[in-house]
Amino acid sequence: MNYHKILFSFLAIFFLSVLSKDENEADGTILKQPRLYKVAVVGGGIGGAAFIHFFNQLPKEHQVQIDVYEANYKVRLEKINYVVCLFNVSKANNTRNENMLNKIEIGASIFIGENYWVHELSKSYGLTANRTQSDPKNKKGDFGIWDTKNEEWMFLPKKNILSSLLTEESQINQLTDGLYTFWHFSPKKFLDFAALAKNFISRFRKYYTEWTNQSFPNAIDFWKFSDMFDATQQNCSTYLMEHLNIDSLSHPILNEFVLSLNRGNYNQKLDTNALVCLTSMASVVGGSNEIYSIVEGNQALVDRMIRNYIPRERIFLKHDIFSIKKLKKKTDDDYGYQLYLEDKRKTREDVQRIIALKLDPEKKENRKWRERFYDFVVIATPLYQSKIKFLGDFDQHTHEQMALAKDGLPYKKVHTTFIQGRLNTKYFFKSESDETKRTQMRDSLKTIGVGNIFNNKTLFNLIGKWSDHSGLQHPLYKIFSDEALSDEDLNTIFIQDTHKFIKKHVWKGAYPKYGIKAVFPDIVLDDGGIYYNNAIEAGTSAMEVMILAGKNTALLFHQHLTKIHSNSQHSQTKDEL
């Protein structure tokens, strides 16, 4: 009896499916499984994370699987560990002090109140964006501009803030410092400088107030949208001299103020394009009392944006892409690209095998190679000096644009040094009569920038005091420099018997090495199959800029998929007719 029931159920299902098929064919409808598109995101930084975030905010008419490839990160059990970008002070000092700053960015770490998307995304992903001076233990400090060529101060506040900002005396000192600074850089020129920087901020707001779903296939159109493309084609010093009516590079506004800002932000002088200088200027004008940092570290934002949408098994850390090959497609369902990559992760078995067989782990045959296939590729990492080769049947224009991206936009190497110790104030104040100034510098000075455009070589580009919590014997300093600082250099800047070297890091692709005139590769390559997210960075670089670049790439890709979907429906209807 049970067998008859099973047989009857089977026959019923079979006839219903046949009838359903006949009805669908009768009304011209052909059922087809939705196409799953596979996308490789090469680069797990802020640009790639922003692309993933914004793409997932858009309506879906198609199924998309995104894989993320990052060459540099390491994995620790249940979470991604960004040790390359973050530094743990407590661990370095072998102490456990909850009041200490636990994470310090190796690279740039601040953004201004005008940076809408950094604030908005930080908040939406549960991170804390605090004013850098909001901690009452970290009283607002002064900045000075040092001439490393002549080893003398170019600018130093007339009175330093030594007491709490809540006291009347400190408010008077603040006012005195402000008036002295205003007078030192020339009142008229300082006001012109502030107006120029505020105009830049106003134009940048267009990306928040006027940009909706429009996409830009190249970076030129992106920067023209905010009327800032012209600034990418002009030399910084020439542009500022013209707009500020300054006739000499030795004017303090240029030779001290803007130069120290550019060196601190981009480790470059005034030989960049003008948009880079305007970006540096924006950090102190119109937002100087609203300079923020993410308490958990910038990389925490990247981590959460990626992991919110991409499952762990689709995040491939320590995977280095060596080539992207265009494939000849026989049908629309065939993959368009082959990625050839190295899996640089080493399991215990890998290590044991290398030791047991006495293998050279650097030889190609002893490394782990993989092939992966995709429909689309988003390149969210600088192509300059990358190992990625482009193979296969790319057209001439795509080859030219890829060559421009690899060779036309070099990136600058920056050395970051963390050191705990006491500044050698006798290096900065040589006269014995300067003892009071030495004390003020040690207690109050937070940032030392570098001026003098006529000096081609400096020991450092920026020294910043990051922490003087009670958990540290001496303050912790972060130094940016063009070259690695030797022991002799450190013994010059710091008192030899007190400083304790903590960490050095070489950031090989910190920022583009900006020239006088920006050169922009296309964003959309190979008819919408490949996207170069970092093309926009040829104009200027900042975390907010790369978030906007990710948004733009997401819109471009989404519109391309929508077009494919529309063409597919049109073709299907035509076939049915």
**117 confidence band (pLDDT: 50, 70, 90):** very high
Q: Clarify whether residues 169 and 305 are in a common domain.
A: no
Taking the C-alpha atoms of residue 153 and residue 147, their distance in angstroms, rounded to an integer, is: 6
**163 confidence band (pLDDT: 50, 70, 90):** very low
Burial group, residue 438, by CB count within 10 angstroms (0-12, 13-18, 19+):
middle
Final residue before a domain boundary, out of 494, 512, 530: 512
Alpha-helical regions (H) of 218-338? 219-225, 229-232, 236-243, 252, 259-266, 274-282, 298-307
**390 confidence band (pLDDT: 50, 70, 90):** very high
Do 449 and 146 form a contact (C-beta atoms < 8 A)?
A: yes
Closest CA to 305 of 543, 95, 93: 543
CA distances from 468 to 46, 84, 93, 258, 555 (A): 30, 24, 14, 28, 45
The reported pLDDT for the residue numbered 21 is 46
Final residue before a domain boundary, out of 457, 485, 512: 512
Q: Clarify whether residues 177 and 271 are in a common domain.
A: yes
Flag whether 255 is in a domain.
yes
- Rounded mean pLDDT of 160-166? 33
Q: Which domain holds residue 562?
A: 36-78+297-343+370-410+518-576
Flag whether 259 is in a domain.
yes
pTM for the full predicted model: 0.83
Flag whether 104 is in a domain.
no
Flag whether 284 is in a domain.
yes
CA distances from 318 to 45, 70, 129, 551 (A): 13, 6, 29, 25
Q: Clarify whether residues 524 and 403 are in a common domain.
A: yes
Q: Chain centroid to CA 349: how far?
A: 35
| H helix or E strand, kind and range, residue 435 | helix 435-444
The answer to whether residue 401 scores a pLDDT higher than 80 is: yes
Flag whether 58 is in a domain.
yes
Q: Clarify whether residues 378 and 457 are in a common domain.
A: no
Q: Clarify whether residues 253 and 378 are in a common domain.
A: no
Final residue before a domain boundary, out of 466, 495, 512: 512
Q: Are strands 36-42 and 63-70 parallel, antiparallel or unpaired?
A: parallel
The answer to whether residue 25 scores a pLDDT higher than 50 is: no
**509 confidence band (pLDDT: 50, 70, 90):** confident
Average model confidence (pLDDT) for the chain?
78
Q: Regarding predicted confidence, which is higher, 338 or 455?
A: 338
3-class secondary-structure state, position 227:
coil
Q: Clarify whether residues 159 and 305 are in a common domain.
A: no
Q: Clarify whether residues 402 and 290 are in a common domain.
A: no
Q: pLDDT tens digit string along 404-422? A: 888 877 888 899 988 888 8
Residue 435: which residues within 8 A CB-CB, separation 6 or more? Answer: 429
Reading the block at residue 494, the tokens are 């710091």
Flag whether 555 is in a domain.
yes
The reported pLDDT for the residue numbered 506 is 86
**275 confidence band (pLDDT: 50, 70, 90):** very high
Q: Clarify whether residues 51 and 174 are in a common domain.
A: no
**161 confidence band (pLDDT: 50, 70, 90):** very low
The answer to whether residue 274 scores a pLDDT higher than 90 is: yes
Flag whether 397 is in a domain.
yes
Q: What percent of the chain has pLDDT over 70?
A: 75
DSSP state of 82: -
Question: What is the tally of structural domains in the chain?
Answer: 2
Buried b (16+ CB within 10 A) or exposed e, 281-311: bbbbbbbeeeebbbebbbbbbbbbbbbeebe
Q: Clarify whether residues 334 and 267 are in a common domain.
A: no
Flag whether 444 is in a domain.
yes
3-class secondary-structure state, position 534:
helix
Q: Clarify whether residues 402 and 330 are in a common domain.
A: yes
Q: pLDDT tens digit string along 164-178? A: 333 344 444 454 555
What's 313's domain CATH number?
A: 3.50.50.60
Q: Clarify whether residues 495 and 432 are in a common domain.
A: yes
**467 confidence band (pLDDT: 50, 70, 90):** low
Q: Clarify whether residues 492 and 544 are in a common domain.
A: no
